Amino acid sequence: MARKGLPSADEALIRLEHVAKTFRMGEVEVRALRDVTLDVQAGELLVIIGPSGSGKTTLLNLLGGLDLPTSGTVRFRGRDLAALGPKERGAYRRKELGFVFQFFNLIPNLTARENVMVAVEMSDDPMEVEESLRLVGLGDRMDHFPAQLSGGEQQRVAIARALAKNPELLLCDEPTGALDYDSGKRVLRLLRDVNRDLGKTVVIITHNLAISRLADRLVRMRSGEVVALTANPNPADPEDITW
């Protein structure tokens, strides 16, 4: 068990069983994932690490219902995502998931408040817009446009936007990749606090080995395969991580 309070593997939020994903590029087949079996437990902070081309983004896209496996199954609370129709998968992404990407994807002519409001309008049970921005430390920057915010502040708006949907699962693709060192550490602390204090399940994919010290469990990937799965009984404080 990674830390006190985490559920057992029998209570997996998402379960992947013998998942493979193949892309066809002309007459060439690219095997992005090969026979991946993995549980994501409710309430954990899971870090997936690997070099470029290891399959970690493909794995995240399958977790998020953005893509479907070529073979094998991806189940969210027992529901096979491949068995859902496009509208049902869209509802899954809207209601259950928040996405945070390396590039912030904010709408430039909308304020921070308005960018978050876009997500709130898609949710059945959202947080208050102002509450989500206060949670990420931007209570005094709500009416600023993206161009008036630093990179770290823009990423925090993106996290507030993801949180405002009140999702069960936060999927983060290289969330510090476009940030300077200090901003990156602040974003890591925020994601750790979202996991610990709000009880959200957080999955971070990264190529940065130092970030793995935050994890309750660490998944190492190489050439489309999970090559190691390690529990971390003492996750590090973000302030103690350097790279």
Instruction: Give 136-193 pLDDT, tens digit per residue.
Output: 999 999 999 999 999 999 999 999 999 999 999 999 999 998 888 888 898 999 999 9
Q: What is the pLDDT of residue 57?
A: 93
Band of residue 6 on the pLDDT scale cut at 50, 70, 90: very low
Q: pLDDT exceeding 90 applies to what percent of the chain?
A: 77
For the segment 120-141, the average pLDDT, to the nearest whole number, is 90
Where does 42-68+85-232 sit in CATH, by number?
3.40.50.300
pLDDT of res. 177: 86
Give 8's pLDDT tier (boundaries 50, 70, 90): very low
User: Higher pLDDT residue, 239 or 147?
Assistant: 147
Report the distance separating Cα 17 and Cα 39, nearest Å.
9
**Where residue 26 falls among pLDDT bands split at 50, 70, 90?**
confident
Residue pLDDT, tens place only, 66-114: 999 999 999 999 999 999 999 999 999 988 999 998 888 899 999 999 9
Q: The pTM is what?
A: 0.90
User: Measured on CA atoms in the order 45, 177, 223, 25, is the torsion positive or negative?
Assistant: positive
